[in-house]
């Protein structure tokens, strides 16, 4: 199974690289597949590559659902 995660672009670097924040964790990713990218845009990341831009509201909803799932799993294990 593959998982792509929404992330906010926080910094653009040379050579089609950007720093993206995934729920507060920063990671350098390739943005070679995306045109007209700006700081503050949300992208979908899979194995170190930003695949496409995503609507900011949709990104936030997805991240919130992931947090809820994570919290629910931790509660179930106790």
Q: According to the model, what pLDDT value does residue 73 have?
A: 61
Q: Report the pLDDT value the prediction gives residue 75, as an integer from 0 to 100.
A: 53
Cβ neighbours, 10 Å, residue 43: 24
Residue 76 pLDDT > 80: no
Which domains does the chain possess? Answer: 5-77 (2.30.30.140)
pLDDT of the residue at 77: 47
Q: Which of 45-52's residues contact partners 24+ apart within 8 Å by CB, and which partners?
A: 45/4, 45/5, 45/6, 45/7, 45/20, 46/2, 46/3, 46/4, 46/5, 50/7, 50/9, 50/18, 50/20, 51/4
């Amino acid at each position: 199974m593959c998982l792509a995660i929404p992330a906010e672009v926080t910094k653009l670097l040379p050579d089609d690289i950007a720093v993206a924040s995934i729920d507060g964790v920063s990671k350098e990713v390739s943005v070679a597949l995306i045109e007209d990218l700006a700081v503050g845009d949300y992208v979908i990341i899979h194995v170190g590559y930003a695949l496409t831009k995503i609507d900011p509201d949709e990104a936030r909803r997805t991240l919130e659902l992931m947090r809820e799932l994570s919290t629910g799993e931790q509660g179930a294990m106790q």
